[in-house]
């Protein structure tokens, strides 16, 4: 069962994971504006490659989608668009991403989003034994089995990672 910490309250993400019986551990850290996965990995002593960022993007018709990517990689939007049958894919503006997900950028979790959106996961993430992914609040990561993303989010594996 999930480890409970006294100072992190439930988020839509943790509520959903608990309802589904998913085992995870909670890892709060001191959020740093624009620190990204490098900062959270440094503070928590994690390898940045296993810290997964949740990116809200949109296709040419402004339809939102989520991409799960290694913290130390960028998304090749050209490769992603080709694999999902879109003409183009671009990151959403922060306020648009916030509206779609219900979370603040920097605290976006793929679990418990306001809107249902298709989720794409970098295929190599699935080879990791555990990942750290945002728990629905800035300064809050959850560690869990990456296959949960396939089971709960129906995430589709794609190959669109670029080394940063």
In a domain, 38, yes or no: no
Task: Please give the pLDDT value at position 4.
Answer: 43
pLDDT computed for residue 163 by the predictor: 86
Nearest to 159 by CA among 103, 75, 100: 75
**Domain-embedded: residue 16:** no
Q: How far is it, in rounded angstroms, from Cα 114 to Cα 12?
A: 9
Number of structural domains found in the chain: 1
Q: What is the CATH number of the domain that holds 73?
A: 3.90.960.10
Q: What pLDDT score was predicted for residue 8? A: 67
Q: Is residue 152 part of a domain?
A: yes
Provide the strand spans (E) within the chain.
25-28, 51-59, 64-70, 73-75, 89-91, 119-122, 131-134, 140-144, 156-158, 161-163
Domain carrying residue 57: 47-125+145-164
pLDDT at 9: 83
24 belongs to a structural domain: no
pTM recorded for the entire structure: 0.94
Residue 133 belongs to a domain? no
Task: Establish if 35 belongs to a structural domain.
Answer: no
Tens digit of each residue's pLDDT, the chain (164 residues): 444 444 568 999 999 999 999 999 999 999 999 999 999 999 999 999 999 999 999 999 999 999 999 999 999 999 999 999 999 999 999 999 999 999 999 999 999 999 999 999 999 999 999 999 999 999 999 999 999 999 999 999 999 999 87
Tokens of 162: 């670029």
């Amino acid at each position: 069962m999930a480890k409970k910490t006294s100072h992190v309250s439930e988020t839509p993400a943790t509520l959903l994971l608990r309802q589904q019986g998913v085992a995870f551990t909670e890892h709060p850290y001191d959020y740093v504006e624009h620190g990204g996965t490098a900062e959270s990995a440094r503070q928590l002593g994690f390898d940045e490659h296993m810290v997964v960022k949740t990116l809200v993007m949109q296709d040419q018709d402004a339809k939102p989608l989520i991409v799960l990517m290694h913290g130390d990689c960028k998304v090749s939007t050209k490769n992603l668009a080709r694999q999902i049958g879109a003409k183009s894919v671009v990151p959403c503006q922060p306020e648009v991403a916030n509206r779609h997900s219900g979370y603040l950028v920097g605290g976006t979790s793929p679990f418990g989003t306001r809107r249902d959106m298709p989720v794409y996961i970098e295929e190599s993430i699935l080879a990791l034994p555990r990942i750290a992914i945002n728990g629905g609040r800035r300064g809050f990561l959850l560690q869990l089995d990456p296959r949960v993303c396939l089971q709960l989010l129906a995430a589709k594996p794609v190959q669109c990672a670029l080394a940063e």
